[in-house]
Amino acid sequence: MVAAPVRLAQADATIPSTATGVPLRACACFRHEALFYAQGDRGFVEGTLALVTRALASEASVLVGVAAARAAALAEALGDDAGRVCFADMSLLGRNPARIISVWREFAREHAGGHGTALGIGEAAWPGRGAAELSECERHEALLNLAFDDGAAWHLLCPYDLDGLDDHVIEAARHTHPLLAWDGASYDNLAYPHVHEPPRPFAGLLPPPRGAVDELAFDGHALAELRHTIAAWAMANTLGAERTQELVLAVDELASNSVRHGGGAGMLRWWREDEELLCEVRDRGWIQAPLVGRERPDIDASSGRGVWLVNQLCDLVQIRSVPGGSVVRVHMRLS
């Protein structure tokens, strides 16, 4: 087996720090793998082209979710075969990382178990993301293993740009992927700690607000006032009519959840940070389902719809929860 990869002084290759093992053989299981690459589009294509080509040769389905420039570079390298690959702009479908698992869930449901091993390539942590987004990307990556380990066999490759991402992001990726890709082969990742340890997506604290904060205590009788207050504030901050309606609906869903499941009451806080509007709902509930809001609820599901809807409406959703209290923070970009 091999240890985790290391950054090189020259950004033209990434190698395992030790190469004492042999590449893994294909297995009838979910394979969650990190690819660390350098040199931008060129390095991305060099790290993914052979894998995509092999998948297409076996008539497997391929979905590539990356930024537009990365997708264009890979499509050019594939030539005529690019038409056999489904490309999705990750900056749209994955702006809120909590939406991504449901996309992969649909892909696996439709294509895993067919010809060849279905292949997904998803670059959730791209250069330029903010600190809050990258924190949620790390939690998303850890939850992928929980979401798919007991399901059908398919392969998910997660590229990480060594030149564009900070060291702490690369280090986090080393701890959320059971496998590492290098030189066209897969290796066990000795830095992956979760073999016997479940992920804790709601652990930790949210950073304090950067701006003046308003607050409103609420119960079931104050939801109308809450909706009116957030609508007026969002419009005054030029969020726009449609986006304001989405924010109001998201906050109303969270507050209603607090009334139903969080002790009957809660606290709403709202503020602006640069070009984002943030709202936060606190209550006495304890969220224990790690995939809450990340999987599309069944038609007859009795719960889980509220957080799912909030994730679809907002640009970013952050949940922190411990026994005795939860906080859900939502972000809406003004641009």
Domain layout of the chain by residue ranges: 30-188, 214-333
Span 149-160, average pLDDT = 92
Tell me the pLDDT band of 24, cut-offs 50, 70 and 90.
low
CA-nearest of 139, 137, 112 to 124 is: 137
Residue 17 pLDDT > 70: no
Residue 122 pLDDT > 80: yes
pLDDT of residue 198: 76
Share of the chain above pLDDT 90, in %: 80
Residue 108 pLDDT > 60: yes
The token duo for 47 is: 């790290």
Give the tens place of pLDDT for each residue, 37-54. Answer: 999 999 999 999 999 999
CATH topology (fold) of 214-333: Heat Shock Protein 90 (3.30.565)
Residue 5 pLDDT > 50: no
The token duo for 15 is: 């190698």
Distances (CA, A) of 178 to 141, 207, 285: 11, 29, 32
Residue 295 CB burial class (10 angstroms; 0-12, 13-18, ≥19): middle
Distances (CA, A) of 114 to 58, 110, 150: 10, 9, 17
The token duo for 94 is: 């994955």
Domains 30-188 and 214-333 share a fold: no
pLDDT of residue 27: 64
For the entire predicted model, the pTM comes to: 0.90
Task: Give the distance, in angstroms, between the CA of residue 161 and the centroid of all CA atoms in the same chain.
Answer: 16
According to CATH, the superfamily of the domain at 30-188 is P-loop containing nucleotide triphosphate hydrolases (3.40.50.300)
| Mean pLDDT over each residue of the chain, to the nearest integer | 90
pLDDT of residue 25: 57
312 against 115, higher pLDDT: 312
Tell me the pLDDT band of 11, cut-offs 50, 70 and 90.
very low
Cα separation of 189 and 233, whole Å?
48
pLDDT of residue 244: 98
- Bridge partners for 271 per DSSP: 278
Give the tens place of pLDDT for each residue, 166-193. Answer: 999 999 999 999 999 988 889 999 888 7
Tell me the pLDDT band of 8, cut-offs 50, 70 and 90.
very low
For residue 246, what are the contacts with CB-CB under 8 A and spacing of at least 6?
313, 314, 332
- Bridge partners for 181 per DSSP: 35, 186
Tokens 């922190």 sit on residue: 320
Give the tens place of pLDDT for each residue, 229-267. Answer: 999 999 999 999 999 999 999 999 999 999 999 999 999
Residue 2 pLDDT > 60: no
Cα separation of 335 and 332, whole Å?
9
Residue 3 pLDDT > 90: no
Which of 9-23, 61-75, 140-154 is least confident?
9-23
